[in-house]
Protein backbone atom coordinates (compact mmCIF):
# COMPACT_ATOMS: atom_id res chain seq x y z
CA UNK A 1 0.00 0.00 0.00
CA UNK A 2 1.64 3.24 -1.09
CA UNK A 3 1.94 6.24 1.18
CA UNK A 4 -0.59 8.28 -0.88
CA UNK A 5 -3.35 5.72 -0.28
CA UNK A 6 -2.87 5.87 3.51
CA UNK A 7 -2.92 9.66 3.44
CA UNK A 8 -6.13 9.71 1.40
CA UNK A 9 -7.81 7.19 3.73
CA UNK A 10 -6.84 9.20 6.83
CA UNK A 11 -8.13 12.45 5.28
CA UNK A 12 -11.42 10.75 4.27
CA UNK A 13 -11.83 9.41 7.81
CA UNK A 14 -11.19 12.88 9.32
CA UNK A 15 -13.65 14.43 6.87
CA UNK A 16 -16.27 11.80 7.79
CA UNK A 17 -15.83 12.67 11.50
CA UNK A 18 -16.14 16.40 10.69
CA UNK A 19 -19.33 15.82 8.69
CA UNK A 20 -20.82 13.77 11.56
CA UNK A 21 -20.02 16.52 14.07
CA UNK A 22 -21.53 19.12 11.73
CA UNK A 23 -24.76 17.14 11.35
CA UNK A 24 -24.96 16.65 15.11
CA UNK A 25 -24.57 20.41 15.66
CA UNK A 26 -27.17 21.25 13.03
CA UNK A 27 -29.69 18.82 14.49
CA UNK A 28 -29.12 19.35 18.23
CA UNK A 29 -28.13 23.00 18.62
CA UNK A 30 -30.21 26.00 17.65
CA UNK A 31 -28.28 28.91 16.15
CA UNK A 32 -28.02 32.16 18.13
CA UNK A 33 -29.79 35.22 16.96
CA UNK A 34 -26.73 37.22 16.04
CA UNK A 35 -27.37 40.81 15.04
CA UNK A 36 -24.21 42.86 14.52
CA UNK A 37 -26.16 46.13 14.58
CA UNK A 38 -27.43 45.44 18.10
CA UNK A 39 -23.94 44.51 19.25
CA UNK A 40 -22.48 47.68 17.73
CA UNK A 41 -25.20 49.72 19.43
CA UNK A 42 -24.40 48.11 22.79
CA UNK A 43 -20.68 48.82 22.31
CA UNK A 44 -21.39 52.49 21.55
CA UNK A 45 -23.76 52.73 24.51
CA UNK A 46 -21.14 51.22 26.83
CA UNK A 47 -18.49 53.60 25.45
CA UNK A 48 -20.73 56.62 26.09
CA UNK A 49 -21.48 55.41 29.63
CA UNK A 50 -17.74 55.08 30.27
CA UNK A 51 -17.14 58.63 28.99
CA UNK A 52 -19.92 60.01 31.20
CA UNK A 53 -18.53 58.16 34.22
CA UNK A 54 -15.03 59.48 33.51
CA UNK A 55 -16.38 63.04 33.25
CA UNK A 56 -18.26 62.64 36.53
CA UNK A 57 -15.13 61.30 38.20
CA UNK A 58 -13.15 64.27 36.88
CA UNK A 59 -15.78 66.72 38.15
CA UNK A 60 -15.79 65.03 41.56
CA UNK A 61 -11.99 65.18 41.66
CA UNK A 62 -12.02 68.91 40.83
CA UNK A 63 -14.73 69.55 43.42
CA UNK A 64 -12.71 67.70 46.05
CA UNK A 65 -9.59 69.71 45.18
CA UNK A 66 -11.53 73.00 45.36
CA UNK A 67 -13.02 71.97 48.70
CA UNK A 68 -9.57 71.16 50.07
CA UNK A 69 -8.22 74.53 48.89
CA UNK A 70 -11.20 76.32 50.44
CA UNK A 71 -10.73 74.49 53.74
CA UNK A 72 -7.03 75.37 53.73
CA UNK A 73 -7.85 79.02 53.06
CA UNK A 74 -10.52 79.00 55.78
CA UNK A 75 -8.01 77.53 58.22
CA UNK A 76 -5.45 80.17 57.28
CA UNK A 77 -8.04 82.92 57.67
CA UNK A 78 -9.07 81.49 61.02
CA UNK A 79 -5.47 81.39 62.19
CA UNK A 80 -4.90 84.95 60.93
CA UNK A 81 -8.00 86.15 62.80
CA UNK A 82 -6.84 84.39 65.98
CA UNK A 83 -3.44 86.04 65.65
CA UNK A 84 -5.05 89.43 65.08
CA UNK A 85 -7.33 89.00 68.10
CA UNK A 86 -4.39 87.90 70.25
CA UNK A 87 -2.37 90.95 69.20
CA UNK A 88 -5.27 93.27 70.06
CA UNK A 89 -5.65 91.56 73.41
CA UNK A 90 -1.92 92.01 74.08
CA UNK A 91 -2.12 95.73 73.12
CA UNK A 92 -5.09 96.27 75.41
CA UNK A 93 -3.23 94.83 78.39
Q: DSSP letter string over 14-40?
A: HHHHHHHHHHHHHHH-PPP---HHHHH
* Number of compact structural domains in the chain: 2
Question: Domain check: are 81 and 54 in the same one?
Answer: yes
Question: Domain check: are 45 and 71 in the same one?
Answer: yes
Question: Domain check: are 77 and 54 in the same one?
Answer: yes
Q: What is the pLDDT of residues 31-59, one digit of tens each?
A: 777 788 888 999 999 999 999 999 999 98
Question: Domain check: are 68 and 26 in the same one?
Answer: no
- pTM assigned to the model: 0.40
| pLDDT for 16 | 97
Q: What is the pLDDT of residues 6-18, one digit of tens each?
A: 999 999 999 999 9
Residue range(s) defining the domain that contains residue 9: 1-31
**Does the pLDDT at position 76 exceed 90?**
no
Amino acid sequence: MPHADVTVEISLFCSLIAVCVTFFNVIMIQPNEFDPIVIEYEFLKREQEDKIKAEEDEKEKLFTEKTKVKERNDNRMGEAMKTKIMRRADKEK
